[in-house]
Amino acid sequence: AQSVTQPDIHITVSEGASLELRCNYSYGATPYLFWYVQSPGQGLQLLLKYFSGDTLVQGIKGFEAEFKRSQSSFNLRKPSVHWSDAAEYFCAVGGRAGNNRKLIWGLGTSLAVNP
């Protein structure tokens, strides 16, 4: 079955600390992978995406993610967190087969940042 797991429901980090948010997926084909961010009172915004090529992808706001096929993971990282990064983060996966472009979503990780 196709699924996305974000093992951490809630994470708290100190401002300036590094961050890694985990995402594991189960998908039968080579996936398209996405990270979205939802800031308080804001809409969902795409942080970064992986389709092919370099497995380390750079996104907006200083975020990056690495696709590891062997581990079925697409973890999101940031070397130094800012207070404005406090938000909900969603991982999503889609497939290349057929015409169905529905994404499968994780349940999200809520990030709190301590000053």
Partner 1 sequence: GAGVSQSPSNKVTEKGKDVELRCDPISGHTALYWYRQRLGQGLEFLIYFQGNSAPDKSGLPSDRFSAERTGESVSTLTIQRTQQEDSAVYLCASSLGSGDFEQYFGPGTRLTVT
Contact pick of 1, 28, 54, 101 for partner 1 (by CB under 8 A): 101
Whether residue 31 contacts residue 93, with contact meaning beta carbons closer than 8 Å, is answered with: yes
Contact pick of 65, 106, 111, 113 for partner 1 (by CB under 8 A): 106
Stretch that binds partner 1, among 17-25, 39-47, 60-68, 69-77 (CB under 8 A): 39-47
Helical H segments across 31-84, by residue range:
none
CA distance 41 to 99: 33
Contact pick of 1, 28, 40, 43 for partner 1 (by CB under 8 A): 43
Please give the DSSP secondary-structure letter assigned to residue 72.
T
102 near partner 1, judged by CB under 8 A: yes
